[in-house]
Amino acid sequence: MPKNYLIRYGGAVTGIEEEKAIIRSIRKSRKTRNWQEAEEGKKFSSEAANFLGVKYGILTNSGSSAGLLALCALECPRGSEVIISAVTFPTIFNIILQCGLIPVVVDAKIGTYGFSIEDVEKAITKKTKAIIAIHPLGNPVDMPKLMKLVKKYGKQGQKIWVLEDNCDGWGTDIGGCKTGAWGDISITSFHAAHIVSMGIGGGVFTNNRTLVRKVRIYRDWGRQADVNESKNKKWPQLPTDYNPRFIYEKIGYNFQVLELQAAMGRVQLRKIVQIKKARKRNFVYLYNNLQKYDKLILPVLSTDADVCWFAFPITYIGDRGKLLKYLEKNRIETRPLFTGNVTKHPAYRQSKFRISGTLKEADYITKHSFWLSCHPSLHKADLKYIVKVFDNFFKKYE
């Protein structure tokens, strides 16, 4: 493997604006002696929520933590079932197990790399309490159809929560409505590799006031950090003079962020139009120039969506190892499609989960799929180089 890639898959693109914002934040924190989320954090969470078109946003230290907080806030009874695609990120699968719930795994489809709503419906039982809708590499689940499905069950008396994993999909929209605004609650990642970055971090978003309050409690050690009351009137087992801000109502975590991260995130968010435009441009170039190869299955849009592509997924009908080795030799970085079939990983040998239907396509994705960069930093020459390497590979081996 080359020591230095010519074409890297990701990484935050930053400039002097982010640097200045971080320095201003550091100087202010030195004066106030407060380094955790304050004014910048409040502004960024509000601006990010406004961008999505929802009422509430809460920042946290990663997309993985955001997922755990969001699922915790739903407070599904232990042993309840949560439907999820077989092709996922491991920490999003893990949150189901961490909350004492049962993952119900459905197949992912080659081309979209997400689940079909038909497979989701077949997986629903009386125990189903939530569905995690993952937008893989930005390509969204058919959210209008999914929300129609859960509404049907709601009318029958079965409440099913929808949690959107929007870590890859920031900036994507379906019919003018952003991914991350369709479900009951959504999460995103602001990691350096993702579309908008605060270095490392994440966020939880919702229109539900009760859920946002619970997310905040779980994030902030299990206590109501924003309570302004001076007397304890709620919990008789504790003294009345016990400050309600330090009463721990949940088994919580410390998943807070720094002010300087939020300051960087605010600058990045203002660049989202240019970021999306560049990612779409690069995606289209790769698509148009690689579609000539019959052995490459290129991405299939799952809905009528305007996608902000996180990366360019490919399924190769052939020896993937040979192709990946050739790309890596030519300094083009690649990644597998996250877990592929998550149930095949050794971490889950002793875990309790249920498979609905077959995972035939997820197994194929595990063996044949990968993704390339369509990062906004790529220039036309970079894209031409990628295509040229593919051309050379097919001339040599096919």
The catalytic residue positions are 194
Residue type at 208 in one-letter notation:
N
Nearest-angstrom CA–CA distance, 49 and 47:
5
Most distant CA pair in the chain: distance in Å? 79
Full strand arrangement of the beta sheet holding 305-306: 177-178, 173-174, 305-306
Helix, strand, coil % (nearest 5) of the chain?
40, 15, 45
Confirm if 61 and 255 have CB atoms less than 8 A apart.
yes
Structure-token pair, residue 337: 């499609």
- Return the number of other C-beta atoms located less than 10 Å from residue 323's C-beta: 23
Structure-token pair, residue 59: 């920042």
Distances (CA, A) of 239 to 118, 230, 244: 54, 12, 10
Distances (CA, A) of 186 to 54, 80, 132: 10, 20, 9
